[in-house]
Structure 1
Amino acid sequence: MREYSTPINIEIPTTGNLTDDIVTNATDYPDVVSFSRRVDGAWTDVTAAQFLGQVRAVAKGLVAAGIGEGDRVALISKTRYEWTLLDYAIWCAGAVTVPVYETSSAEQVEWILSDSGATAVVAETAAHAARVAEMRGSLPDLRHVWQLDEGAVDELVALGASVSDDDVERRRTALTPDSLATLIYTSGTTGRPKGCMLTHGNFMFELGVAVEELHQLFDDEDSATLLFLPLAHVFARIIQIGAIKARCRLGHSADVKNLVADLGSFQPTFILAVPRVFEKVFNSASQNAAADGKGRIFDHAADTAIAYSKALDGRRVGLLLRARHALFDKLVYGRLRTALGGHCAYAISGGAPLGERLGHFYRGIGLVVIEGYGLTETTAALTANLPETSKIGTVGRPLPGTGVRIAEDGELLVKGGQVFTGYWHNPEATAEALSPDGWFHTGDLGEIDDEGFVRITGRKKEIIVTAGGKNVAPTVLEDRLRAHPLVSQCMVVGDGQPYIAALVTIDPESFPQWAEQHHKTGAIADLTEDPDLIAEVERAVEEANKAVSQAESIRKFTILPVDWTEEGGQLTPSLKLKRNVVSREFRADVEALYSR
């Protein structure tokens, strides 16, 4: 059993709660710009003092509405300024925030509201409010539904006009590190979502060490980040709270169609994204270059960036490589950095493995990608590659105060102050996940090297065992396959079968350009048997197979006529594959891979 821990290097508060940050900011730094928010198409500054005033006013409305201390209040909304405002107002009222993905189905919403016993819901749109109204009869605890697009914030402010500052302050200061801050329901690749109980202390521990360790992101007085991932996910949520704690200017962008324009006008110094976003940026740049007849130049530029990054690890960058890198910095890399706003030096990647190739590429163009590892149950990051101590291809070392251990069966176990207290109303699941001595069973398989760097090798429950007894971790192959511009999603199969195979879907955004270049007519569904398309995917499969042994390699694949999406039910909101859903819906396609 291999184990590694990093000693705590700061003092974690034993009193107080997350709302102390906004009070401190407003008292000591009242004129510092905490937010830039979109108002009539332009960014408008919100100072620390203004934000605290708005939070208190909304909190008064919640108190006046009868929201009690410890009550659960659900938020169903895209990422926007009001999400953050309400999050802190709910805490100042002594209540608990229950985030709900705005894309959740009616059945998922009903389960979360029912299981959490939510007494109020703040919904973004009329469609969200209507979804809640349909199930109102099965939610006896629900007393209020407010709608953001119909003036929910102003309504709450007006409602709380008679509530005093002292009433809110009493509730706010009654919260301790042990108080429940939020119930985040895991999106769940199988079964019903479970409510993860995260305390104010969990967040205080996580951010106490993370902000200190990632000081390069937060120390600059001009530091700023633009949130575009869902705040219902713990990944974006922890950055929200961390930015406020560190007095880093924060913005919100919910519409990915306007993301490039928003990045350009907001000009963040760091961003956070899931690997699929980094893949899309790379693939789009590659395809655009090919369409302009500059595909070979981009390919050489990408290879140079990767080689340059790898050379940095050895601290030896040759003169020729340095010269090529400088040339491509003017021709290619600078344009990519401009697309991120022109001031972005760091990016945080999480939610899934980024892969060594993309990690080296982005560092090679001048964007340091900080890849970490964590789960909802661990209040986001447990480990991280820090700017000064990084090993691309791993998820870094444990953060201070955190221990990692590899169990006899290869499962990664973790321990630290950021580990949740358990699952809401689910003692059986809690007992299964948390050992009596505080180690949390992540369900992921991993390795720890001699320097303490952690590498995630797969999911314990997703291991495929072939008919020949070979254990295969599908994620290694799937991550490599998805790196190809034409591949959207894929699922490796072969449990109990004589060889490994794969289902592959085509990226609907990349396909039109490929079809035009290859003089193809028709939709994806018309070309699943097209020799050129098959050959393109075959090259992606061959590249993926380089990462595994012959016994683990993909021998056959089939191209599906439809893509897998969150709306279709095959992906979770954090874009993880629901293997049980795909296996059920495409059972005939899997069987065909072994009957042909």
Structure 2
Amino acid sequence: MREFSLPARYTVPTEGGLPKLLAANAARHPHTAVIARQRGGTWEDLTATEFLADVESVARGLLRSGVQPGDRVGLLSRTRYEWTLFDFAIWTVGAVTVPVYESSSPEQIAWNLGDSGAIAVVVETSAQLAVVESLRERLPRLTRRWCVEPDSGPGAVALLTAAGAPISDQRLAAATATVTPDSPATIVYTSGTTGRPRGCVLSHRAFLATCGNVVAALGPLFRTGESSVLLFLPLAHVFARMVQVAALLAPIRLGLVPSVAQLTDDLASFRPTIVLGVPRVFEKVYNSARATAASGGRGKIFDRAAETAAAYSRAQDTPGGPGLGLRLRHRVFDRLVYRKLRAVLGGRATHAISGGAPLGERLGHFYRGIGFTVLEGYGLTESCAPTSFNPWDAPRIGTVGRPLPGTTIRIAEDDEILLRGEHLFTEYWNDPAATAEVLRDGWFHTGDLGRLDEAGYLTVTGRSKEILVTAGGKNVAPAVLEDRIRAHALVAECMVVGEGRPFVGALLTVDDDFLPRWAEEQSLTGLDRAELLDHPALLAALDEAVRQANEAVSRAESVRAFRVLPGHFTEESGHLTPSLKLKRHVVAKDFATEIDALYGT
């Protein structure tokens, strides 16, 4: 058993909660831009004073409508300025935010709002409002509904601002004063990778402890008046939510966009100094750049540049550092390739923060080698996002960093990762049995497996619920193989299978961005997609990707057979969570026939 902790670098105030951040910013930095919203294709900055005024105006409207301290209020919207506005307004009246993914099905919406006992909900569109209205009989407590962008009439912000005008400063202050560090701030429903979501209750203390220590530990990345972060991940996910709060705690300029659809344009116009993402975003940037280079006849140059970047990054971890020859090659490729890639990421960012799933050493070394260090971290909804992250000045690629200051990580005898600290959730809403199952003896039992090195850097080796046990009794961690197989440009997604089977197999999907370019290289442009997926040359290329991945594991753990699927794993198909994690049980159920075919059954 090994454990490691770092002393806290931020002290949670003894009174109040998250609403005090806005008042503190208005007092210390009244004219500093703290948040930016898109209006007509341009960015409009709001100062700390202006944002506080907006929040208090909406909060008055919530009070006038009957929202009381402790009430739960649903928030169903894409990431946008109004999401953050309503989140802080709900907190300002002492209520509890219940985020709902805008992609949620009616059944999921009904569960989140019904299980939490929400009395009100804010939605983004009239279509979402219609869905909520259709659930009225199932949600008798939900008596207040507002829409940010209705098809006609004033939106939620205008309605609540007008309604709240008679509410006095004293009444608003009295509601805010009910908030203590230990008051619940939000009920975040887990993504449901293994079943029906559970409501994870996170307190104001959890957010303040997490974000205060993140900002303190990553100080050079959170410079007030200089730094900025562009948030495009869904704010219903705790990772994005943590960044929202951290940006306003620092404070630094926070930009909000609804999706990754126009990410390149948004990065170019906002020019953040920090980029936030999940591994699939960074994989997509890499694969798209490689595909573009290949289509322009520069594929070999890109591949050599990528190899040089990775070698340069690895050499930085050696006593002597990069040698002269490597430095010269790196300098040449910086002019030819790396500068263009950094420009795609906005041109100012030197660091990114990645979470939600393992990034993998391959991409970690590539990005650091081009001058854009991705700081990988690890956490769960129950730990208010990060419970560990790599230091900005001493990252160890392949690990998820050191513990959040003020927290302790312990590796149990069976290699399970255990956590302790102020950043942890308090309970699963309406589920004391599930709470007692994971909160034992003062420790949160994560269900993840890992190891700590002497310096306290954590490596996650697998999730106990995801470990496959073959018919021969061999334990297999899918993530190791999946990351390496996805390294091939032709592979979009990969899921390793083999539970109770005689050997390990894999389901693969093909990257449609790269497939046409590959077909052209192979002189196969006359074939349609279905014919390409079944072509011996493509199967041989994928077989090589699998062979290279198998080099990282023992023969008993290696993939012996794979099957190419005609479609993709997507959130719309139900195979990915909104944070882009595989729903393994859903994939296994939907593709049971294909899995059986791998084993001749």
CA contact (8 A) 1:525 1:562 kept: no
Aligned to 1:301: 305
For 1:534 and 1:337, how far apart are their aligned partners in 2?
34
Aligned to 2:364: 359
Aligned to 1:82: 82
Residues 224-243 of structure 1 mapped to structure 2, 5 A cutoff: 224-243=228-247
CA contact (8 A) 2:412 2:418 kept: yes
Q: Does 1:159 align with 2:181?
A: no
Aligned to 2:419: 414
Aligned to 2:536: 531
Which residue identity does 2:31 align to in structure 1?
D
Structure 2 residues without counterparts, runs of 5 or longer: none
What do residues 320-353 of structure 1 show as CA deviations (whole Å, max 9, x unaligned)? 1111111111110000000011101110000011
Residues 442-591 of structure 1 mapped to structure 2, 5 A cutoff: 442-518=446-522, 519-591=524-596
Residues 67-466 of structure 1 mapped to structure 2, 5 A cutoff: 67-150=67-150, 151-219=155-223, 221-315=225-319, 316-435=321-440, 437-466=441-470
Local SS of the residue matching 2:261: helix
CA contact (8 A) 1:56 1:165 kept: no
How far 1:401 moved relative to its partner? 1.4
How far 1:258 moved relative to its partner? 1.5
For 2:543 and 2:87, how far apart are their aligned partners in 1?
48
For 2:401 and 2:73, how far apart are their aligned partners in 1?
35
Q: Are the structure 2 counterparts of residues 471 and 255 from structure 1 closer, same or farther at C-alpha, using a change threshold of 3 Å?
A: closer
For 1:511 and 1:73, how far apart are their aligned partners in 2?
45
For 1:476 and 1:524, how far apart are their aligned partners in 2?
29
Which residue identity does 2:443 align to in structure 1?
W
- RMSD over aligned Cα atoms: 1.3
Local SS of the residue matching 1:595: coil
How far 1:565 moved relative to its partner? 0.9
For 1:214 and 1:358, how far apart are their aligned partners in 2?
21
How far 1:312 moved relative to its partner? 0.9
Local SS of the residue matching 1:383: strand
For 1:221 and 1:34, how far apart are their aligned partners in 2?
8
For 1:290 and 1:82, how far apart are their aligned partners in 2?
41
For 1:18 and 1:269, how far apart are their aligned partners in 2?
24
For 1:138 and 1:208, how far apart are their aligned partners in 2?
40
What do residues 370-401 of structure 1 show as CA deviations (whole Å, max 9, x unaligned)? 11100000001111111222211000111211
CA contact (8 A) 1:383 1:397 kept: yes
Percent identity between the two aligned chains: 55
For 1:522 and 1:65, how far apart are their aligned partners in 2?
61
Q: Are the structure 2 counterparts of residues 319 and 555 from structure 1 closer, same or farther at C-alpha, using a change threshold of 3 Å?
A: same
CA contact (8 A) 2:379 2:388 kept: yes
Which residue identity does 1:543 align to in structure 2?
Q
Task: Give the TM-score normalised by the residue count of structure 2.
Answer: 0.97
CA contact (8 A) 1:525 1:560 kept: no
What do residues 85-131 of structure 1 show as CA deviations (whole Å, max 9, x unaligned)? 01000111111111100001111011001001111111011221111
Local SS of the residue matching 1:36: strand
CA contact (8 A) 2:33 2:225 kept: no
What do residues 268-324 of structure 1 show as CA deviations (whole Å, max 9, x unaligned)? 000110001111111111111111111111111111111111111114221111111
CA contact (8 A) 2:75 2:100 kept: yes
How far 1:430 moved relative to its partner? 0.2
How far 1:471 moved relative to its partner? 0.8
CA contact (8 A) 1:35 1:46 kept: yes
Structure 1 residues without counterparts, runs of 5 or longer: none
CA contact (8 A) 1:565 1:571 kept: yes
CA contact (8 A) 1:69 1:93 kept: yes
CA contact (8 A) 1:73 1:95 kept: yes
How far 1:432 moved relative to its partner? 0.6
Which residue identity does 2:53 align to in structure 1?
G
Local SS of the residue matching 2:129: helix
